[in-house]
């Protein structure tokens, strides 16, 4: 056949055997690999299509840059990692060619080679490999230490790694879904399908997840299976179609269960459109987070390779993979194929290939006397079986050309020409998810493998993943597990399905672990255990020799099993070689714990919707649009966007802030204070609760009046502050800092529920109920007055620190008279939906009086001019009210409040504590840096005794000089003293002063 | 002094969050709910009967449930053993009505604290499942079910108002985030 792709007639797929396999040859698909055009068929993976074209060399290895081919036909692939380039932004590295489905126009590139795959300069590492033993980097790049970050690490990182990460933002969309079910079945092989059928018939919700495009598992290659009178594959497809029609079943294909977390929470990655030439509006991937009452793990088994010199040459692959390529994809992996096995299952591959007309050079069997059906069948087909022998090495450059067969007992070798070599040392049950679920594995000494031992969660392993080798037993076990899981999860039966009957099957028993005769101790021998990380048998022996006696140390020293394939094919070999070198039994050496993810998961799937504007909620006040329209520069305060300052044309930040600061004190300023936390404390015991949560006394605060409240933690340190208005005997309107709103409510609720549950009082957050417009300055009353109804604004009727309810702009409002600037001030609280319109009305009035809008920077400067602290800036969790000069806010007659005992701790009453003071630089133009340290003697040798640090520092336009607040040891006893702030380029002399820099008598709030 | 300039403006314009938005994507529609009266009601067990009578809706005591008044105009959502969110037509003086019960309680007007989004259509449940970890199947979360839960990174109160209809109550400043995430999720809800 041949397809037209990119305007060129493609060459026929020379290794595709017509009439074999399940693909539709009538649907040709064109693709490129390293720029060269090839043809494949719909349903191909990239690997099967490359093999159909006779391409085995697909990449270079990680460390030695050795030519590498396709080892497997599935998710365990350690070698055939390629880059996929859809367009300039869509470049995916390390895609397993064995998993990637072919689509028309797919463009793949090989990795880790320069200048080309055929000729790679980095391959010099291979020749120099005696110089790169295990632990090479640890041993070599130790000196000088400083060279590590500047020289060694960047070079090693540049030379190492496989693919190249994309350099543009990911344009694809990723989605996510939480799902719940009674039974989650992981793995859509025959066992998983049987379990899903059994569970689904009871009517409970079932999710069946399989990583392949078509479920079917090992039936993809096993030709010998017959179930319910059908070929194994046909049975699976019919059963899957039946499951797909059931309303209570969600069938997820191309979906990998990659993480098993607490309480049957399993994460699945669904590849939604990676297989499509035109993804359209579909997301690329979808993350499923599934909470299942019961989990059935039907994760199957993975075939292991044989460990011998040159076992990584392109053309050397797993026997089951070759069989999959033949039976499913109709592709012969060679014309002259050798087999090296310790296991019956490889015979089936040889037999299938032979029957398809492929030459089998020989079957080399490690076992001394293999017997049984497949062995006799192979012999009957005329295949030479060389038992009691091993493959010592292979020949060939970019593709295997020969294998050297030697007797196990020693003696001369025989070179057999081959163009592919199939291997099988047995099957490893996939315990990754079971292990992730915290289940404990148990060693099966007979089968020389680990099996599920003690379960930690409500799950059950079935089939090959449970070590059940026989298909009939597997299906019986899986069906029973599905039925039981559904029953226990509340399923009460529905249309019964009959238990599948297995009429014929194959057996996979037998095998070996560790290295064969080709993996000797010579320095040039490379018998790979871990293909992806280029770890050889010799490396593992060396690790043991150098004192690594735990598998955890061997693993980290050699990096075996630490690549993205997680050692799916290599872990048991590595363990067996280490155990052999240590002369211990395998269970004594231990098995490393499997970690999520089972296969690599994209960051896109993990992040899914949480990108751009959805990365984090951005909270905006009701007046945000006005601020934007008036040129505000915004500051992030937690999740809030707050206006920072409002520059006019030609103004920089300093000029804008200076103007705003001047204007507020000369006329008035309007400020959006909506983000301040607000909590309504309501109930007959409200005042008792306030007495307990704040240092201040509240009982005598009359309704309609306000007080500045100070809140401590149990340890006596300042936790939050804010103005509190008493609206009624049983109702307080509490304000908190912007950042403190959630934690203060939690703090209050915590004490209410645990310490003071006897109080009849309830707390409600009203932060977002009210939009808050602060009007501050000498003209504040003139600005507010025209808009207010039902409130007498005269000083007699509404003095500083009072609160009234009335209407403003016709809207029910709470009006506070309070000040964080030292000026006459009002804070208008109106229901949030009215906030912007009321703000506009206030602004219109303000303009008549020369007012400006001001932002958080001006607010900070103005409060610092008055010595008002900001909790979290002038305090740091180790500051008491007295330290901050707020001792007056503690009710002296109070017998209890949160923190009262903490305040009596010896350290908190000792002398020498850091106290909040003002600092004036001797040069009024110099503005200190916040955080700068303060010393008494600038000439003292380092380390100097540090007295404290600057907490707030600004240019004060109103004082025509710089001002600062600082925490200084015994600060209040140092008034007038000269201290020093050493900076990298100079030392700044400062005078210790009171904290109030402007209107020291505090008269302006009243006038 | 201030009286001379009175009555410059008698009524400020109300600008509800999300006003004017609507979205139809696949099998999901998103609509901002009409402005409503909302009351945060806290009360001990002993007050429930009196408050139910005063408010004209039986305060539900079953976790995660709601109750609707006879005329269907107001809903009481169970949020906790002593906590309800009452939703009624805009302008209803719920706090005033509750005060008339003469029973111990705390009532706080939060009409403007929340915005609400109506999520409707065959894909509504899947759309919410993009960000809400709860089991929202009709069996576990039937019509009338209520939960204070999360949607992505926002806290919400979720009510199932119909087989394929949900109401999402969310704090005003999180409404834009919730809407945007719902809109993204709606594109994927047909799968």
Quick one: residue A561, left, alpha or beta (phi over 0 = left, psi -120 to 50 = alpha)?
Answer: left
Cα angle at A474 between A471 and A475, to 5 degrees?
Answer: 90
User: Do residues A182 and A280 share a domain?
Assistant: yes
Nearest by CB: B35 against A176, A640, A833? A833
Strands, E assignment, B43-177: 66-68, 75-80, 83-89, 106-109, 114-120, 146-151, 154-162, 165-171
- Does the distance separating the beta carbons of B129 and A177 come in below 8 Å? yes
Nearest by CB: B129 against A179, A767, A830? A179
Mean pLDDT of A572-583: 92
Chain A partners within 8 Å of B86 (Cβ): none
In this structure, the number of other CB atoms found within 10 A of the CB of residue A904 comes to 10
User: Do residues A803 and A688 share a domain?
Assistant: yes
B172 — contact with chain A (CB < 8 Å)?
yes
Chain A partners within 8 Å of B5 (Cβ): 785-786
Which residue of B3, B4, B7, B9 to mutate against A (max A Cβ within 10 Å)? B9
**Element (H or E) spanning A987, and its range?**
strand A987-993
Nearest by CB: A617 against B3, B8, B153? B153
Domain termination residue (choose one: A69, A101, A127): A127
The maximal CA–CA distance of chain B, rounded, in angstroms, is 67
Report chain B's terminal Cα–Cα distance, integer Å: 67
Exposed e or buried b per residue across A806-830, where buried means at least 16 C-beta atoms within 10 angstroms of its C-beta: ebbbbbebbbbbbbbbbbbbbbbbb
**C-alpha distance from A180 to closest chain B C-alpha (Å):** 6
User: Do residues A701 and A819 share a domain?
Assistant: yes
- Does the distance separating the beta carbons of B130 and A177 come in below 8 Å? yes
Tell me what pLDDT residue A188 has.
Answer: 98
Q: Is residue A145 part of a domain?
A: no
B164 — contact with chain A (CB < 8 Å)?
no
Mean pLDDT of A161-174: 87
Q: What interface predicted TM-score (ipTM) does this complex get?
A: 0.95
Domain termination residue (choose one: A504, A530, A549): A504
User: Do residues A471 and A488 share a domain?
Assistant: yes
Looking at every residue in chain B, the average pLDDT score rounds to 94
- Does the distance separating the beta carbons of A175 and B126 come in below 8 Å? no
pLDDT tens-digit readout, A810-856:
999 999 999 999 999 999 999 999 999 999 999 999 999 999 999 99
- Does the distance separating the beta carbons of B173 and A640 come in below 8 Å? yes
Count how many residues are written for chain B: 191
**C-alpha distance from A425 to closest chain B C-alpha (Å):** 42
- What is the β-pairing status of strands B114-120 and B165-171? antiparallel
User: Do residues A522 and A420 share a domain?
Assistant: no
Q: How far apart are CA A773 and CA A839, in angstroms?
A: 7
Strands, E assignment, A99-239: 106-109, 174-186, 206-209, 226-227, 230-231
Chain A partners within 8 Å of B15 (Cβ): 622, 833-834, 836-837
pLDDT for A244 beyond 90: yes
Residues 6+ apart with CB under 8 A from A123: A60, A64, A65, A66
User: Do residues A682 and A809 share a domain?
Assistant: yes
Nearest by CB: A769 against B6, B109, B191? B109
- Does the distance separating the beta carbons of A180 and B9 come in below 8 Å? no
Chain B partners within 8 Å of A281 (Cβ): 187
pLDDT tens-digit readout, A926-944:
999 999 999 999 999 989 9
* Residue A95 near residue A81 (C-beta atoms within 8 A): yes
Report the SS3 class of residue A780. Answer: helix
* Residue A325 near residue A430 (C-beta atoms within 8 A): no
When mean pLDDT is compared across A30-39, A492-501, A828-837, the lowest value belongs to A492-501
Q: What is the per-residue DSSP string for A361-405?
A: EEEEESSSS--SHHHHHHHHTT--EEETEEEEEEE-SSS--EEEE
Q: Is residue A137 part of a domain?
A: no
Mean pLDDT of A471-498: 89
Within 13 Å of residue A776, how many CA atoms lie on the same side as its CB? Answer: 29
Nearest by CB: A833 against B15, B108, B185? B15
pLDDT for A588 beyond 70: yes
Domain termination residue (choose one: A563, A596, A629): A596
Q: How far apart are CA A960 and CA A661, in angstroms?
A: 11
Exposed e or buried b per residue across A59-92, where buried means at least 16 C-beta atoms within 10 angstroms of its C-beta: bbbbbbbbbbbbbbbbbbbbbbbbbbbbeeeebb
- Does the distance separating the beta carbons of B14 and A833 come in below 8 Å? yes
Torsion of Cα atoms, B125 then B129 then B131 then B133, to 10°: 120
Mean pLDDT of A287-316: 97
Tell me what pLDDT residue A522 has.
Answer: 55
pLDDT tens-digit readout, A598-656:
999 999 999 999 999 999 999 999 999 999 999 999 999 999 999 999 999 999 999 99
Nearest by CB: B2 against A272, A781, A841? A781
**C-alpha distance from A168 to closest chain B C-alpha (Å):** 22
Give the range of the structural domain holding residue A684, as residue numbers without chain letter.
671-863
Strands, E assignment, A432-523: 440-444, 449-454, 459-461, 502-504
Reported pTM: 0.93
* Residue A227 near residue A501 (C-beta atoms within 8 A): yes
* pLDDT band at residue A130 under the 50/70/90 scheme: low
* pLDDT band at residue A149 under the 50/70/90 scheme: low
Within 13 Å of residue A278, how many CA atoms lie on the same side as its CB? Answer: 1
* Residue A681 near residue A736 (C-beta atoms within 8 A): no
pLDDT tens-digit readout, A410-445:
888 999 999 999 999 999 999 999 999 999 999 999
Q: How far apart are CA A209 and CA A196, in angstroms?
A: 10
* pLDDT band at residue A10 under the 50/70/90 scheme: very low
When mean pLDDT is compared across A588-592, A716-720, B136-140, the lowest value belongs to A588-592
User: Do residues A529 and A494 share a domain?
Assistant: no
**C-alpha distance from A254 to closest chain B C-alpha (Å):** 14
pLDDT for A142 beyond 70: no
**C-alpha distance from B50 to closest chain A C-alpha (Å):** 17
User: Do residues A559 and A463 share a domain?
Assistant: no
Residue of A nearest to B185 (CA): A175
Chain B partners within 8 Å of A639 (Cβ): 173
- The pair phi, psi for residue A951, each rounded to 5°, is -100, -35
pLDDT > 90: percent of chain A:
84
User: Do residues A844 and A704 share a domain?
Assistant: yes
**Element (H or E) spanning A477, and its range?**
helix A471-488
Q: How far apart are CA A841 and CA A845, in angstroms?
A: 6
Residue closest to A715 by CA, chosen among A879, A859, A828: A879
Tell me what pLDDT residue A997 has.
Answer: 98
DSSP H helices, A797-875, are: 835-848, 856-865
pLDDT for A5 beyond 60: no
Tell me what pLDDT residue A171 has.
Answer: 94
Q: Is residue A412 part of a domain?
A: yes
Task: Note which residues in 125-154 of chain B have CB less than 8 A from chain A.
Answer: 126, 129-135, 137, 140, 152-154
Q: Is residue A149 part of a domain?
A: no
Tell me what pLDDT residue A9 has.
Answer: 42
Q: Is residue A601 part of a domain?
A: no
Q: How far apart are CA A95 and CA A75, in angstroms?
A: 10
- Does the distance separating the beta carbons of A789 and B15 come in below 8 Å? no
CATH (domain of A912) = 2.40.30.110
Chain B partners within 8 Å of A761 (Cβ): 106
CB pairs under 8 A between A and B: 160
- What is the β-pairing status of strands A359-365 and A336-341? parallel
Mean pLDDT of A758-772: 98
CATH (domain of A343) = 3.50.50.60
User: Do residues A881 and A919 share a domain?
Assistant: yes
Chain B partners within 8 Å of A766 (Cβ): 108, 110, 113
- What is the β-pairing status of strands A174-186 and A206-209? parallel
Nearest by CB: B12 against A179, A786, A809? A809
Tell me what pLDDT residue A491 has.
Answer: 86
Nearest by CB: B177 against A286, A614, A834? A614
Residue closest to A484 by CA, chosen among A466, A460, A502: A460
Which residue of B188, B190, B191 to mutate against A (max A Cβ within 10 Å)? B188
pLDDT tens-digit readout, A851-908:
999 999 999 999 999 999 999 999 999 999 999 999 999 999 999 999 999 999 999 9
- Does the distance separating the beta carbons of A833 and B17 come in below 8 Å? yes
Q: Is residue A270 part of a domain?
A: yes
- Does the distance separating the beta carbons of B172 and A609 come in below 8 Å? no
**C-alpha distance from B91 to closest chain A C-alpha (Å):** 12
- Domains: count for chain A: 6
Q: How far apart are CA A827 and CA A135, in angstroms?
A: 68
Mean pLDDT of A485-514: 83
Chain B partners within 8 Å of A610 (Cβ): 152-153
Chain B partners within 8 Å of A178 (Cβ): 129-134
Q: Is residue A220 part of a domain?
A: yes
**C-alpha distance from B14 to closest chain A C-alpha (Å):** 5
Nearest by CB: B12 against A621, A764, A841? A841
Tell me what pLDDT residue A259 has.
Answer: 98
Nearest by CB: B2 against A173, A616, A785? A785
Q: Is residue A975 part of a domain?
A: yes
User: Do residues A97 and A204 share a domain?
Assistant: no
Structural domains in chain B plus CATH codes? 20-35+112-191 (3.30.1360.120), 36-110 (3.30.70.1520)
CATH (domain of A568) = 1.10.10.1100
pLDDT tens-digit readout, A661-699:
999 999 999 999 999 999 999 999 999 999 999 999 999
User: Do residues A484 and A529 share a domain?
Assistant: no
pLDDT tens-digit readout, A711-729:
999 999 999 999 999 999 9
In this structure, the number of other CB atoms found within 10 A of the CB of residue B112 comes to 24
């Amino acid at each position: 056949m041949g397809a037209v792709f990119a305007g060129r007639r493609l060459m026929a797929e020379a290794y595709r055997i017509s009439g074999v396999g399940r693909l539709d040859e009538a649907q040709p698909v064109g693709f490129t690999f390293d720029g060269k055009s090839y043809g494949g068929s719909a349903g191909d993976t990239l690997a099967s299509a490359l093999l159909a074209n006779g391409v085995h060399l697909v990449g270079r290895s990680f460390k030695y840059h050795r030519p590498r081919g396709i080892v497997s036909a599935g998710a365990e692939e350690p070698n055939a990692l390629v880059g996929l380039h859809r367009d300039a932004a869509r470049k995916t590295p390390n895609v397993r060619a064995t998993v990637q489905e072919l689509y028309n126009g797919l463009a793949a590139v090989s990795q880790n080679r320069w200048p080309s795959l055929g000729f790679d300069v980095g391959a010099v590492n291979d020749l120099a490999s005696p110089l790169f033993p295990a632990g090479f980097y640890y041993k070599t790049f130790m000196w000088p230490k400083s060279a590590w970050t500047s020289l060694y690490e960047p070079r090693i990182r540049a030379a190492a790694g496989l693919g190249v990460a994309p350099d543009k933002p990911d344009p694809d969309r990723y989605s996510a879904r939480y799902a719940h079910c009674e039974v989650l079945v992981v793995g859509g092989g025959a066992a998983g399908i049987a379990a899903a059928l059994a569970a689904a018939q009871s009517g409970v919700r079932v999710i069946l997840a399989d990583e392949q495009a078509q479920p079917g598992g090992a039936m993809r290659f096993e030709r010998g299976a017959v179930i319910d009178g059908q070929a194994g594959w046909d049975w699976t497809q019919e059963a899957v179609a039946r499951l797909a029609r059931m309303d209570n079943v969600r069938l997820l294909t191309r979906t990998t269960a990659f993480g098993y977390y607490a309480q049957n929470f399993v994460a699945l990655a669904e590849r939604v459109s990676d297989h499509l030439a035109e993804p359209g509006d579909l997301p690329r991937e979808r993350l499923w987070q599934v909470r299942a009452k019961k989990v059935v793990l039907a994760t199957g088994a993975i075939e292991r390779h044989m460990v011998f010199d040159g076992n990584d040459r392109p053309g050397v692959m797993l026997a089951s993979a070759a069989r999959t390529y033949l039976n499913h994809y109709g592709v012969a992996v060679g014309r002259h194929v050798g087999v090296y096995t310790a296991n019956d299952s490889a015979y089936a591959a040889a037999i299938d290939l032979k029957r398809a007309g492929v030459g089998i050079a020989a079957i080399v069997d490690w076992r001394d006397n293999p017997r049984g059906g497949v062995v006799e069948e192979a012999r009957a087909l005329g295949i030479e079986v060389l038992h009691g022998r091993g493959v010592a090495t292979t020949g060939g450059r970019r593709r295997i050309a020969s294998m050297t067969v030697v007797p196990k007992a020693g003696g001369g070798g025989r070179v057999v020409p081959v163009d592919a070599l199939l291997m099988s040392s047995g099957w490893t049950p996939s315990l990754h998810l079971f292990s992730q679920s915290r289940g404990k594995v148990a060693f099966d000494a007979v089968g020389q493998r680990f099996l599920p031992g003690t379960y930690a969660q409500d799950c059950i392993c079935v089939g090959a993943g449970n070590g059940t080798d026989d298909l009939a037993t597997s299906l019986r076990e899986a069906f029973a597990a599905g039925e039981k899981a559904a029953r226990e999860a509340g399923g009460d039966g529905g249309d019964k399905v009959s238990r599948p009957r297995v009429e014929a099957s194959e057996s996979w028993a037998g095998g070996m672990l560790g290295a064969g005769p080709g993996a000797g101790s010579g320095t040039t021998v490379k018998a790979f255990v871990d293909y992806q990380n280029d770890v050889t048998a010799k490396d593992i022996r060396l690790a043991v020799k150098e004192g690594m006696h735990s598998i955890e140390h061997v693993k980290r020293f050699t990096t075996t099993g630490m690549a993205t394939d997680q050692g799916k094919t290599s872990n048991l070999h590595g363990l067996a070689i280490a155990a052999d070198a240590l002369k211990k039994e395998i269970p004594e050496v231990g098995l490393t714990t499997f970690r999520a993810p089972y296969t690599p998961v994209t960051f896109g799937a993990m992040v899914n919707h949480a990108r751009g504007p959805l990365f984090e909620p951005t909270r905006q006040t009701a007046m945000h649009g006005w601020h934007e329209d008036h040129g505000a520069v915004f500051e992030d305060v937690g999740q809030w966007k707050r206006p920072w300052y409002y520059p006019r044309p030609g103004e920089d930040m300093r000029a804008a802030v200076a103007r705003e600061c001047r204007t507020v004190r000369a006329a008035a300023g309007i400020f959006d204070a909506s983000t301040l936390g607000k909590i309504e404390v309501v109930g007959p015991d409200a005042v008792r609760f306030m007495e307990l949560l704040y240092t201040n006394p509240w009982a005598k605060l009359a309704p309609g009046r306000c007080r500045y409240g100070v809140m401590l933690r149990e340890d006596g340190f300042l936790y939050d502050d804010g103005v509190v208005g008493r609206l009624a005997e049983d109702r307080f309107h509490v304000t908190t800092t912007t950042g403190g709103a959630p934690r203060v409510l939690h703090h209050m609720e915590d004490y209410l529920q645990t310490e003071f549950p006897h109080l009849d009082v309830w707390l409600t957050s009203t932060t977002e109920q009210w939009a808050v417009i602060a009007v501050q300055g000498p003209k504040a009353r003139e600005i507010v007055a025209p808009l207010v109804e039902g409130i007498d604004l005269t000083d007699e009727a509404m003095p500083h620190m009072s609160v009234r309810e009335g209407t403003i702009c016709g809207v029910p409002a709470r009006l506070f008279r309070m000040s964080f600037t030292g000026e006459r001030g009002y804070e208008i609280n109106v229901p949030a939906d009215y906030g912007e319109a009321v703000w506009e009305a206030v602004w219109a009035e303000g303009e008549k009086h020369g007012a400006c809008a001001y932002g958080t920077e001006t607010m900070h400067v103005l409060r610092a001019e008055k010595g008002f602290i900001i909790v979290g800036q002038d305090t740091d969790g180790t500051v008491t009210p007295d330290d901050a000069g707020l001792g007056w806010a503690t009710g002296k007659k109070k017998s209890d409040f949160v923190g009262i005992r903490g305040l009596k701790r010896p350290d908190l009453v000792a002398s020498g504590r850091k106290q909040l003071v003002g600092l004036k630089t001797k040069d009024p133009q110099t503005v200190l840096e916040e955080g700068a340290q303060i010393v008494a003697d600038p000439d003292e040798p380092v380390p100097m005794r540090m007295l404290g640090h600057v907490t707030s520092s600004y240019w004060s336009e109103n004082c025509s000089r710089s001002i600062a607040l600082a925490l200084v040891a015994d600060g209040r006893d140092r008034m007038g003293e000269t201290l020093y702030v050493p900076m990298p380029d100079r030392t700044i002399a400062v005078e210790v002063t009171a904290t109030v820099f402007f209107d020291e008598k505090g008269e302006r709030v009243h006038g | 002094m201030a009286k001379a300039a009175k009555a410059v403006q008698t009524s400020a314009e109300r600008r509800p969050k999300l006003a004017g938005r609507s979205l139809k994507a696949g099998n999901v529609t998103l609509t901002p709910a009409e402005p409503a009266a909302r009351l945060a009601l806290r009360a001990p067990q002993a007050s429930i009967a009196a408050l139910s009578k005063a408010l004209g809706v039986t305060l539900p005591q079953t976790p995660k449930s709601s109750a609707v008044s006879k005329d269907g105009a107001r809903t009481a959502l169970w949020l906790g053993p002593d906590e309800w969110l009452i939703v009624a037509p805009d302008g209803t003086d719920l706090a005033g009505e509750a005060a008339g019960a003469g029973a111990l309680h705390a009532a706080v007007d939060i009409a403007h604290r929340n915005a609400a989004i109506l999520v409707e259509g065959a894909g509504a449940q899947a759309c919410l499942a993009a960000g809400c970890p709860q089991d929202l199947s009709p069996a576990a979360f039937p019509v009338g079910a209520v939960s204070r839960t999360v949607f992505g990174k926002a806290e919400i109160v979720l009510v199932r108002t119909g087989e394929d209809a949900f109401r999402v109550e969310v704090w005003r400043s999180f409404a834009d985030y919730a809407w945007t995430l719902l809109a993204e999720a709606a594109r994927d809800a047909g799968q």
